[in-house]
Structure 1
Amino acid sequence: MYTQGKTKEEILKFINNWGEETFAKTLDIQFIDVDLDNETLTATMPVTPKIHQPFGIMHGGASCVLAETMGSSLSNIFIDGNKYFGVGTNINSNHLRSKKDGIVTAVARFIRKGKTMHVSEIEIRDEKGQLINHTTMTNNIISK
């Protein structure tokens, strides 16, 4: 997808309906905002028992899935999807606080946006704004 000429609503509709059965849909990830000027993407994910580890808190893998979904989506909506696609090649995720229930909100932004590589930062916060997870992710931008 390429954002040029698209409205925020068109972009959100596209990425919320991207693919039939995806990991993002399995975890009920919902994209809620894209800021075209600042090149950020925001999504929410409910914290329910289906994403808990045995101790009753959100599994770190669920945070990683949310973060990778955010970083990959951010790259792919800001490149020309007719010519390129972005694929994750590295993820570094720090789990900073536990979460038992409610909703988490993730915001992804570019640290570096080059022609062949994007590095993004993803912050996952709870309803109080407390940082639950901080992730950096690298995507390679590959010609189709």
Structure 2
Amino acid sequence: MKGLSKEQILDFLNNWGNETLAKTIEIKFTDLDLTNETLSATMPVQPKVHQPFGILHGGASCVLAETLGSCLSNIFIDGDKYYGVGTNINSNHLRSKKDGIVTGTARFIRKGKTMHVSEIEIRDEKGELINHTTMTNNIITK
């Protein structure tokens, strides 16, 4: 996505695909720092992302984290030649959340030519850490 502005990339991400899981659970990309290579998105915590006890399902947190980690990789590679695809995710659910909004932010731990490792933190409106995830993407030739 070289040559595109922050606003153009966020617009692309928010309009990418029609019937995706990210759209189903209302993930919205909100910030991109091209200098520090971070990407943020929000997700509402509502019944469709709850588990039976009425709290945020860990799988929904993983979807937010993997969406951020995968998109972060794909922003910073040559999309004409490569795809960044998730190959491993390790997610720690640290606090429960019943409602409101969570915000995830992804940043690289390592950004190599064939592999990216990202750290994703998901926080509530008070800044409390809800989830911490690490994710590995392989960078593969199209």
TM-score between both structures, scaled by the size of structure 2: 0.99
Where 1:13 maps in the other structure, the secondary structure is helix
Q: Deviations over 1:9-41 (max 9, x none)?
A: 000001111112111000100000100000000
Alignment RMSD, CA only?
0.5
Partners of 1:115 and 1:19 lie apart in 2 by: 26
Match of 1:96 in 2: 94
Once the two structures are superposed, the pairs formed by residues 59-98 of structure 1 within 5 Å of their partners are 59-98=57-96
Identity across aligned pairs (percent)? 81
Q: Tell me, what secondary structure is at the counterpart of 2:77? A: coil
**Which letter does structure 2 place at the counterpart of 1:27?**
I
Q: Distance in 2 between matches of 1:68 and 1:18?
A: 15
Q: Give 1:57's aligned residue.
A: 55
Which structure 2 segments of 5+ residues have no match? none
Q: Structure 2: how far apart are the matches of 1:36 and 1:87? A: 20
In 1, distance between residues paired with 2:112 and 2:23? Answer: 29
Q: Distance in 1 between matches of 2:48 and 2:19?
A: 17
SS in 2 for 1:14: helix
Aligned to 2:23: 25
* Cα distance between partner residues in 2 of 1:5 and 1:141: 20
Aligned: 1:133 with 2:131: yes
In 2, Cα distance between equivalents of 1:24 and 1:35: 21
CA distance in 1, matches of 2:28, 2:107: 17
Paired with 1:71 and 1:118, the residues of 2 have a C-alpha distance of 9
Runs of 4 or more consecutive aligned structure 1 residues displaced over 2 Å after TM superposition: none
Per the normalisation by structure 1, the TM-score is 0.97
- Within the candidate set 125, 134, 142, 2:140 is matched to 142
**How many pairs were matched up?**
142
Counterpart residue type for residue 116 of structure 2: H
1:6 is displaced (CA, Å) by 1.1
